[in-house]
Structure 1
Amino acid sequence: GAEIERKRAMVQMPDEPAPAPAPAAQQDGEGEPADAMLNPEIETAHT
């Protein structure tokens, strides 16, 4: 039940989960593979 609801929420409002992890990854940055994938520039500057 919960799984289906979560998937439904993602489909209904993809704008919410998308921007949520983006800023979090930018802030954490270090050791975040997702951040490097989304923002290769940050990884370069980081390294």
Structure 2
Amino acid sequence: MIQFSSVDYTGVLVINEPALFLQRLAQGYGKSRAFGCGMMMIKPGDDA
């Protein structure tokens, strides 16, 4: 049986270590990366 779940978050992200953030952003998060999960869509805020 295949189970699939995902979640959407909305908020403000403060980045203290830009190099580490970019590395993790490229690698993805979690164990379901191969299924298209674990990736983050990041966009500039209204005041950027």
Q: Specify which structure has the bigger relative contact order, considering alpha-carbon pairs within 8 angstroms and separated by 6 or more residues.
A: 2
Fold conserved between structures, TM > 0.5: no
Q: So what's the TM-score if we normalise by structure 1?
A: 0.29
Q: So what's the TM-score if we normalise by structure 2?
A: 0.29
